[in-house]
């Protein structure tokens, strides 16, 4: 690379992206109307083809045709594609990670971690291919057997967000493929190059093991391209990851055609810190959860609810660590906080901080823009704001690194405050008191899909089901029994007797 890390140039970053894509086996298609930007400089790397309505229809059609063949391939054999994908991802982990950095602005360690998460879910899905278990229940009728079987569902439409441009696709695709489904993917219009790379690797994996490459289709473009998946009856499940606004637009449309929706929407994640907490450990967990990925994770810690007796000590440590965070080019290994994705994200942060201060908030540190990367690149210092109350701006998700700090005296009030937001994705408690920890995890504790003890809100493992409640949408992806969303269940009753007894003891004629 000819550019320096302190003075990155868009043309050099494009040359690097083109090299990486070539090494990943992907060809840069003819230019089109869809810009591929880099948040590192804010410049446009290249432009790509945006799919037309007819092309999207044709892609759904190919996926529907492929489904008719794929659903009868034995599940362990379907897993061969996923196994090969995992091998390719392992070989190309660092390359794909660097592409994620170039396009989404994540620091190297987090970008490679995201690719590792893809490999992890592939391994999970391979094992799952031999565990798509149904239940057998005792029948109330003599000479009868009652059981459930799970069958492939159909075409899965995957709409994904910019901030996890590759892992969320893998969560859906690895599981959907072993479940016997085919996939049509509409990635974020902000990250089309990483999407192209993933699609190429998956197609190659299919070809290498002699499977039908048509099981995966990529459609690129903006929300209008995604809207075709939403409206199409051939799409059995729409798995949509993004903002609450997007979920509000798509969910009623899918429901109107009786399709299934799996929604992974915005979060507004909180952590409670009690007086018995290990303050050093809590501070470390809080800094990663709140400032990591420049506050652009769905699970980013946005609200800190601290006991009055602990707030001074804790804030001193967290603010001290914030001052030491290096903000800058995410290609530089010493940097911990990369850029915001674009100017809109920066506007959102600026306006939220203004509102918080108008509400009586006190800026503890951060919030300012870091210059030196060009007018179109948006780097900020992560902000901490002490709030007198959980006002409207605190109850909203601002997709930027702002940590609001609230205090409490009574533990029940802290839980009430924690739950008093519309979103319900991730949550945490830092405490040394087992009763408080258990209470946080109990039915009247955190109301989120993820509730952690003595670790932050972000950085989930793939083994558990991932997702959240309330405005986060209620979906579950990734591990545990999330696979059930990608299959249809049939209840079967088999009569192996020569009688025809009816259920509930009904006599009919």
CB of 498 to ligand NAD, least distance (A): 53
175 binds ligand NAD (CB under 6 A): no
Sheet harboring 182-186: ordered strands across? 216-218, 182-186, 155-159, 235-241, 260-264
Q: Which of 98, 103, 264, 397 is catalytic?
A: 264
Residues with Cβ < 8 Å from 119, sequence gap 6 or more? Answer: 86, 89, 90, 93
Tokens of 209: 């093991």
Beta bridge partners of 48: 34
Stretch that binds ligand NAD, among 52-60, 160-168, 282-290, 309-317 (CB under 6 A): 160-168
Establish how many alpha carbons lie within 13 A of residue 162's alpha carbon, considering only the half-sphere containing its beta carbon: 25
Residues 21-80 that bind ligand NAD (CB under 6 A): none
Q: What is the spatial distance between Cα 450 and Cα 299, in angstroms, rounded to a whole number?
A: 9
Residues 435-474 that bind ligand NAD (CB under 6 A): 472
CB of 60 to ligand NAD, least distance (A): 14
Does 396 qualify as catalytic in the annotation?
no
CB of 221 to ligand NAD, least distance (A): 8
Stretch that binds ligand NAD, among 55-63, 127-135, 219-227, 436-444 (CB under 6 A): 219-227
Does 264 qualify as catalytic in the annotation?
yes
Residue from 44, 114, 3 nearest 342 by CA:
44
With contact defined as beta carbons under 8 Å apart, do 375 and 418 qualify? no
Q: What is the spatial distance between Cα 75 and Cα 73, in angstroms, rounded to a whole number?
A: 6
CB of 77 to ligand NAD, least distance (A): 30
482 binds ligand NAD (CB under 6 A): no
Residues 367-426 that bind ligand NAD (CB under 6 A): 397, 399, 425
Residue selected from 163, 217, 329, 431 as contacting ligand NAD according to rule CB under 6 A: 163
Q: What is the spatial distance between Cα 400 and Cα 302, in angstroms, rounded to a whole number?
A: 9
Q: Tokens 């090299």 belong to which residue?
A: 19
Residue from 15, 33, 213 nearest 98 by CA:
15
Residue selected from 172, 241, 390, 446 as contacting ligand NAD according to rule CB under 6 A: 241
* CB of 189 or CB of 214, closer to ligand NAD: 189
CB of 466 to ligand NAD, least distance (A): 6
Q: What is the spatial distance between Cα 124 and Cα 102, in angstroms, rounded to a whole number?
A: 28
164 binds ligand NAD (CB under 6 A): yes
195 binds ligand NAD (CB under 6 A): no
Residue 335, SS3 per DSSP: coil
The interface mask with ligand NAD, positions 290-329, x = CB under 6 A, is: --------x-------------------------------
Q: What is the spatial distance between Cα 13 and Cα 32, in angstroms, rounded to a whole number?
A: 19
Q: Catalytic residues, which ones?
A: 264, 298
Q: Which residues bind ligand NAD (CB under 6 A)?
A: 159-164, 186, 188-189, 222-223, 226-227, 230, 241-243, 246, 249-250, 264-267, 298, 397, 399, 425, 472
């Amino acid at each position: 690379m000819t550019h320096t890390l302190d003075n990155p140039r868009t043309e050099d970053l494009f040359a690097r992206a083109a090299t990486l894509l070539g090494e990943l086996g992907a060809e840069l298609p003819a230019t089109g109307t869809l810009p591929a930007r880099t948040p590192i400089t804010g410049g446009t790397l290249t432009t790509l083809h945006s799919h037309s309505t007819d092309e999207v229809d044709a892609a759904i059609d190919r996926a529907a045709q492929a489904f008719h063949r794929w659903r009868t391939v034995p599940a362990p054999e379907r897993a061969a594609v996923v196994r090969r994908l995992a091998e390719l991802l392992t070989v190309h982990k660092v390359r794909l990670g660097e592409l994620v950095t170039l396009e989404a602005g994540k620091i190297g360690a987090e970008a490679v971690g995201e690719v590792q998460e893809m490999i992890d879910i592939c391994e999970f899905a391979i094992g799952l291919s031999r565990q798509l278990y149904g239940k057998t229940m005792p029948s109330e009728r003599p000479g009868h057997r009652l059981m459930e079987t799970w069958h492939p569902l159909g075409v899965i439409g995957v709409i994904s967000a910019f901030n996890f441009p590759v892992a969320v696709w893998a969560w859906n695709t690895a599981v959907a493929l072993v479940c016997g489904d085919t996939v049509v993917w509409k990635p974020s219009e902000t990250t089309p190059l990483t999407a192209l790379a993933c699609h190429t690797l998956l197609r190659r994996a299919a070809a290498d093991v002699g499977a039908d490459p048509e099981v995966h289709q990529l459609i690129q473009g903006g929300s209008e391209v995604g809207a075709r998946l939403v409206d199409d009856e051939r799409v059995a499940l729409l798995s949509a990851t993004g903002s609450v606004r997007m979920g509000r637009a798509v969910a009623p449309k899918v429901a109107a055609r009786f399709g299934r929706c799996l929604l992974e929407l915005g979060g507004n994640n909180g952590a409670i810190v009690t007086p018995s907490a290990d303050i050093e450990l809590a501070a470390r967990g809080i800094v990663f959860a709140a400032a990591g990925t420049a506050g652009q994770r769905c699970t980013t810690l946005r609200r800190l609810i601290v006991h009055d007796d602990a707030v001074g000590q804790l804030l001193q440590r967290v603010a001290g660590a914030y001052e030491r965070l290096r903000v800058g080019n995410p290609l530089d290994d010493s940097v911990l906080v990369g850029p915001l994705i674009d100017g809109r994200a920066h506007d959102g942060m600026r306006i939220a901080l203004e509102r918080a201060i108008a509400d009586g908030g006190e800026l503890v540190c951060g919030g300012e823009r870091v210059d030196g990367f060009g007018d179109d690149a948006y780097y900020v210092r992560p902000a901490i704001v002490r709030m007198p109350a959980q006002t409207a701006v605190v109850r909203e998700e601002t997709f930027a690194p702002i940590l609001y700090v609230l205090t409490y005296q009574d533990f029940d009030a802290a839980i009430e405050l924690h739950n008093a937001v519309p979103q319900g994705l991730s949550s945490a408690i830092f405490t040394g008191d087992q009763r408080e920890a258990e209470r946080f995890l109990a039915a009247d504790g955190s109301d989120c899909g993820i509730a952690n003890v003595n670790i932050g809100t972000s950085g989930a493992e793939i083994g558990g089901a991932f997702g959240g409640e309330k405005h986060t949408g209620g979906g579950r992806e990734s591990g545990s029994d999330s696979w059930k969303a990608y299959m249809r269940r049939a209840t079967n009753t088999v009569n192996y007797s020569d009688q025809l007894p009816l259920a509930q003891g009904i006599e009919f004629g």
